[in-house]
Chains A and B, each alone.
Chain A
Amino acid sequence: MSYSLNSHLKAALVFIASICSFTANSFELGPVQIHGFLSQGYIYSSGNEYLQGSDSGGTFDFSEAAINFLYRPTDRIFLSSQLISRNFGDAYSNEKDIDIDYMFLSANLHASSTNEFNINLGRLKTSYGIFNNSRNIPFTHVGIISDQTLYNEYDRHLTLYGDGISLDFKHRADFGDLRLVYQNAILADDKRDAFATAPEVADMISDFDDVKGQVLYLSYSLPNKGIDFSFSHSLIEADKIVIPNLYHPTLTFFNRYWRQKAKNNILSARYRSQNYTLTAEYINRSIHHTFDNQIISNGVIVSEESIQKTDSIYLQGAYRFRYDIEGFISYHRAVEKTNGETDYNTPFNKFRKQWVVGSNWDIFEDTLLKAEMHFIDGNFDMIKEPGINQDGIDRKWNMFVMQISYKF
C-alpha cells in the first residue's frame, strides 16, 4: 500500500503544483486534463496537542499539494489519478513523500436515460458517508477539520482509500435517484498504515496480513427538493496480526494472534436549499478483537475477546451570507465503550462533545480562506496519544484552525 518516493520528488510535486496554479486555471496536455490544489493551514490548541506543537504557539505544519490527471482513451473508458503530498504534524502520513490518493480505470458498461452502470478498478477512494470521497479537498465542503470519528485525519491511510474494485449503479426514477456502490479492496498491506494512530503497536507486530474491506453504499436523493439520504455499511477485517512477545509486569505473552473485525454503519442526511445546507451523520462502529493462541508464562493457553463500540453523531448547519461568504455551526457527540463499559486508558479519551463555528471566504475565484473555532469537551478520536505533551491532558480545550487553499 505504501508508495514512498524521496523528498526531491515531494519538492518537485509542490513546485509543479505551484507553477501550474499561478499560470493557468487548469491544464490540458493533449487529451489529458490536469488539475490540482495547494493548501496551507495553521492550528492552535489551548491545551492538548492536537498536532505537534499546536499548544505551544500554534503550528503551520499542516499543508497539502496535489495534482490530478484524467485521460479518456475511448468514450466509455477513462483513467484518473491524483498524487498528493501532505504534511500533518508528526503523523505517519508525513513519511510518505508522495502518496497516490487514487489511480483507477473507470469503464461505463451501460448508460440510458434512467440507468448508468460503471466498474472501477485500481486505487479507489472508499465510498462512505457524504464526504469521504473528497474529504481532503478544501473546496468540496465547509469547515477544515471534519468530524473526527467519521473522517479521522490520523487514520486516513486505512479509511480514505483501498486497492480493489467498485461497482457503481445509478437509477433515476420519478420517486427519486438511487445509487448503489459495492467496493471490495485491500485497505492496508502495511502494518504502519493499519496502525497509524498507534505506531507503538505497529512496532511490536512481527507478522501481518492485509487489511481487507468491503463497503456497501446506498443513496437516495430527491434532487429537485435538495434532499439526500445515504446508508453505508463497511466490514473491515484484519485476519492475522502476530505479536511475538509482549512482556507485561505480571504476564508474558508469546505469539499472540490478534484478529480484528470492524463493522461500521453510517446514516447520512442532507438538505440543501439555495442559501443554506443542513447535514447530519451518525455512525455506529463495532470492533471485535479476538486474541488466540496466547501462551502465557505459566504455560496456560487462553483466548480472549473484547468488543469496542462507538456511537457518534454530528449535526451541521451552513448558511451562505453572500456568494463568496458562508458560515457554519456544528455539534458533535461521540462515545466509545469496551465490553459495555467506558475504559479510560487515557483521561477523557472515550467521549467527546464538541461545538465548531466557522466560515469560508472565496477571496478570489479559485482561492479559499477558511477559519474555524472548536470548543471541545473530551478527547475521543481527537488526539493521538504519542503526541500528547508533558503538561498532561485537558478535558475541556479549544482549537483554532485557519487554512488558505488554491485550486487550478
Chain B
Amino acid sequence: MYFKWILLSLALCTAGYTNAIEIITSEPKNSSVIDADFVKAIFSGRVRYWPNGMPIKVITLPKNSKQHLELCKVFLKTHPRQFSRNWDIIIFSGFGEKPTEVETELEVIEKIKATPGSIGYINSDNGTEGLNVLFTK
C-alpha cells in the first residue's frame, strides 16, 4: 500500500519537473531575428517592441507559481525578486505597461490567442494550436 503511494508521489513529482518551459507568442515565428536573447530582453523589459513595430504585451503566471519560478531560474537566470524589480522600474518610471498576470496556463493560452503582440510561457504543450512556440527550455 505504502509502496503504491510512494510510486504515485514520485510520478507526480517527476511529472511536475519533466515538462519544460515553453515560450509562446501570437506573433509569427521568425527564428532569424527572434533569438533567445531577444526573448530574454522582452521578459526583462529591455525590449518593448517587436521587430514589426507592434508593442509587446507580456503575460505572466502568478509569481509563486512553479512555471514563473522556472522561467526566472532556468530561462532568464535571474531571481524572481529581480524580475519584479525590473518591471517596477519600468512601470513607475512611466516607460511601459505592467505584464498581465493570469492564474492558469489555459488563461495564458487564451489571452495570447486574443491579444496581438503578446508573449507568455507555459509548462505543457496542450492547446497551443495556432500559437508559435519560440523556445522550449
Q: What string of 1s and 0s marks CB contacts (under 8 Å) between A98-118 and chain B? A: 000010101010011100100
Chain A residue total in the interface (Cβ 8 A): 47
Q: What string of 1s and 0s marks CB contacts (under 8 Å) between B96-119 and chain A? A: 111001000000000000000100
Interchain CB contact (< 8 A) of B98 among A35, A82, A106, A224: A35
The smallest C-beta distance from B93 to any residue of chain A, in angstroms, reads 4
Tell me the complex Cα distance, A108–B94, Å. 15
If A70-B94, A104-B94, A134-B88 touch, whether A224 touches B73 (CB-CB below 8 Å) is: no
Complex: chain B residue closest to A274, CB-CB: B79
Q: Tell me whether B49 is interfacial, beta carbon within 8 Å.
A: yes
Q: Tell me whether A145 is interfacial, beta carbon within 8 Å.
A: no
Q: B33 and A81: CB pair below 8 A? A: no
Q: What string of 1s and 0s marks CB contacts (under 8 Å) between A346-362 and chain B? A: 00000000000000001
Q: B73 and A82: CB pair below 8 A? A: no
Q: A106 and B78: CB pair below 8 A? A: no
Tell me the complex Cα distance, A326–B49, Å. 32
If over half of A's interface residues share one DSSP class (helix, strand or loop), that class is named, otherwise mixed; here it is: strand
Q: What string of 1s and 0s marks CB contacts (under 8 Å) between A271-309 and chain B? A: 010110100000000000000000000000000000000
The smallest C-beta distance from B70 to any residue of chain A, in angstroms, reads 13
Tell me the complex Cα distance, A82–B33, Å. 35
Complex: chain B residue closest to A362, CB-CB: B81
Tell me the complex Cα distance, A25–B88, Å. 13
Tell me the complex Cα distance, A106–B93, Å. 12
Complex: chain B residue closest to A360, CB-CB: B81
A-B residue pairs in contact (CB < 8 Å), sample of 10? A37-B92, A68-B92, A82-B94, A113-B35, A116-B48, A133-B89, A134-B88, A134-B92, A320-B79, A362-B81
Given A75-B55, A365-B63, 20 additional A-B pairs, CB 8 A: A33-B97, A33-B98, A35-B98, A70-B94, A72-B55, A76-B53, A102-B93, A106-B95, A113-B35, A134-B92, A140-B88, A140-B89, A140-B92, A224-B77, A274-B78, A274-B79, A274-B82, A275-B79, A277-B82, A407-B92
